[in-house]
């Protein structure tokens, strides 16, 4: 952005509705608008302070604190930059979309930066009793950044993630942050659509279209008019029916069963799957042309074990939302056990665990004995046990730990490897080495006897 003529920062900033500030090349806040002061200043004076101190409470720039720094990137590229950050505000931590623009004089020399903060409505970074996305872990923030970019557009979004990761919640967040938010959000459970029901459920039918069709029925595509159509588990649609969905997407029209008149479709499409659709394409189970139609903007959803640092926030929020959960807490050891659990069922499984705990915790505190057995199979060493360990080579310590967990774990070796954070091949090699060591020790004992 080039400055031309007399420059009045106050006038320029107040013309921006979002919180905005002028920053020096040394990160200092030079001027702010009323929205910025309302969000960040409170009783504090922010002029002259660094942007990273005001918004993060950092003593060093963001890139030195493990985050991307839009000012540094803007300085290096000379171009506008955007990044999703977690900012400290008087209302607590909030996700903020930071837009940074370079300011230059008439000779093209860099004079400072314009920083504009856009509110992120798709998720919360604090405990919340409202349904919706909650998180602050890096893996969650990466997903949120993609959702926030896609929401204002009409692009088709493909959500990719394991079962239980909250794909419908993400799809709804997309819808509620889009220009179509006031129109319907309609979910289609593709796994439950048989060949006989597919057209009738999706496109509707006219009266008398088939035996039992005593009246006209509106289909889900028509119900989503003006809003968002969410196709959950799209990978489950039989190959024979995929061409009908492809035709709907390509032509933007459909024909109810029993009708000869096509109708115009008006919806934003969001799809989700836990399957590898590219592999299904290679195996001939999913149409390649349909795959390219729905995968314009893929968004990977992190599994719970990939964002385990969000567990305290998620458990507190879920307890606020679940029946009987208000006032219920987790014992410290319970939370510690859950933080070492793999959660193959992801957030859906966490919800089930908490529902069980609420019923069993008579005093309002969920204890380890209230957890399902699978959560107890691999337990961290208590602190007193760690204190009592003698000094020994690390490989011996690893061998002792492997002996204990392999003897205690009753599941498959693949699952044990996943929980230990190593490949199955690595685990096999370590266990084989451990077994050979025992055989050698046994042989030495026999020879000495």
DSSP secondary structure string for all residues of 64-92: GGTS--HHHHHHHHSS-EEEEEEEEETTE
Cα distance from N-terminal residue to C-terminal residue, the chain: 86
C-alpha span between 112 and 210 (Å, rounded): 70
Report d(CA 118, CA 98) in Å as an integer: 6
Q: State the pTM of this model.
A: 0.79
Contact residues for 197 (Cβ-Cβ < 8 A; gap 6+): none
Cβ–Cβ under 8 Å, residues 119 and 91: no
SS3 198: helix
Angle at which helix 167-176 crosses helix 138-150, to 10 degrees, equals 40
Cβ-based neighbour number of residue 173 at 10 Å: 20
Q: Provide CB contacts within 8 A for 348, sequence distance 6+.
A: 163, 164
State which residues of the chain have pLDDT below 70. 1-8, 42-43, 207-214, 378-390, 392, 408-412, 414, 418, 421, 423, 436-449
Instruction: Identify the CA nearest to 247 among candidates 277, 290, 278.
Output: 290
pLDDT, residue 332, reads 94
pLDDT of residue 324: 96
CA nearest neighbour of 91 among 60, 119, 130, 132: 119
CA max distance for the chain: 98
Would you state the structure tokens that stand for residue 411, as one six-digit string?
A: 């599941």
**Sign of the C-alpha dihedral computed for residues 43, 44, 47 and 51 taken in this order:** negative
Q: Is residue 149 helix, strand or coil?
A: helix
pLDDT value at residue 33: 92
Q: Is 186 helix (H, G, I), strand (E, B) or coil?
A: strand
Q: Output the pLDDT for position 41.
A: 76
C-alpha distances (whole Å) from 397 to each of 97, 123, 188, 392 are: 46, 42, 52, 7
pLDDT at residue number 353: 98
pLDDT at residue 447, rounded to an integer: 44
Query: What single string gives the DSSP state of each residue in 232-273?
Result: ETGGGS-HHHHHHHHHHHHHSEE--BT--S-EE--EEEEEEE
pLDDT of residue 261: 81
Q: Which residue has 């702010």 as its token pair? A: 32
pLDDT recorded at residue 390:
67
- At 328 the three-state DSSP class reads coil
What the block records as the tokens of 87 is 């900012």
The SS3 call for residue 18 is: coil
* Strand segments (E) across 80-178: 81-89, 92-104, 110-119, 123-124, 133-134, 157-160
Q: Do 220 and 186 form a contact (C-beta atoms < 8 A)? A: yes
Q: Which pLDDT score, from 0 to 100, does residue 399 have?
A: 81
């Amino acid at each position: 952005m080039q400055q031309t003529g007399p420059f009045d920062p106050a006038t320029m900033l107040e013309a921006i509705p979002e919180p905005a500030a002028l920053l020096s090349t040394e990160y200092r806040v030079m001027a702010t608008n009323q929205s910025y002061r309302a969000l960040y200043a409170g009783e504090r004076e922010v002029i002259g302070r660094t942007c990273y101190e005001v918004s993060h409470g950092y003593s060093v720039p963001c890139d030195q604190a493990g985050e991307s720094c839009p000012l540094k990137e803007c300085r290096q590229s000379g171009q506008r930059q955007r990044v999703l950050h977690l900012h400290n505000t008087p209302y607590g931590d909030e996700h903020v979309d930071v837009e940074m623009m370079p300011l230059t004089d008439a000779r093209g020399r860099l004079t400072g930066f314009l920083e504009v903060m856009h509110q992120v409505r798709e998720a919360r970074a604090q405990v919340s009793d409202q349904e919706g996305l909650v998180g602050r872990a890096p893996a969650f923030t990466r997903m949120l950044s993609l959702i926030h970019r896609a929401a204002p557009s009409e692009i088709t979004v493909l959500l990719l993630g394991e079962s239980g990761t909250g794909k419908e919640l993400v799809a709804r967040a997309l819808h509620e942050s889009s220009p179509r938010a006031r129109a319907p959000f309609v979910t289609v459970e593709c796994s439950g659509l048989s060949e006989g029901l597919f057209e009738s459920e999706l496109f509707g039918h006219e009266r008398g279209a088939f035996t039992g069709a005593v009246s006209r029925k509106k289909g889900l595509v028509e119900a989503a008019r003006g809003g968002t159509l969410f196709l959950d588990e799209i990978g489950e649609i039989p190959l024979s029916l995929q061409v009908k969905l492809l035709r709907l997407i390509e032509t933007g029209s459909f024909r109810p069963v029993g009708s000869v008149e096509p109708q115009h479709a008006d919806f934003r499409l969001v799809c989700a799957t836990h399957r590898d659709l590219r592999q299904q394409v290679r195996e001939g189970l999913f149409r390649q042309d349909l795959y390219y139609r729905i995968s314009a903007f893929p968004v990977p959803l992190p599994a719970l074990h990939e964002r385990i640092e969000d567990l305290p926030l998620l458990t507190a929020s879920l307890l606020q939302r679940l029946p009987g959960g208000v006032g219920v807490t987790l014992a410290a050891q319970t939370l510690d056990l859950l933080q070492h659990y793999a959660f193959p069922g992801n957030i859906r499984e966490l919800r089930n665990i908490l529902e069980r705990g609420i019923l069993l915790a008579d005093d309002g505190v969920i204890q380890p004995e209230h957890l399902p057995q699978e959560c107890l199979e691999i337990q961290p060493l208590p602190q007193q046990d760690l204190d009592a360990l003698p000094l020994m080579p690390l490989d011996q310590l690893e061998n002792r730990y492997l002996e204990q967990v392999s003897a205690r774990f009753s599941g498959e070796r693949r699952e044990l490897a996943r929980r230990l954070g190593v490949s199955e091949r690595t685990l096999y090699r370590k266990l084989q080495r451990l077994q050979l060591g025992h055989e050698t020790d046994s042989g030495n004992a026999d020879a000495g006897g």
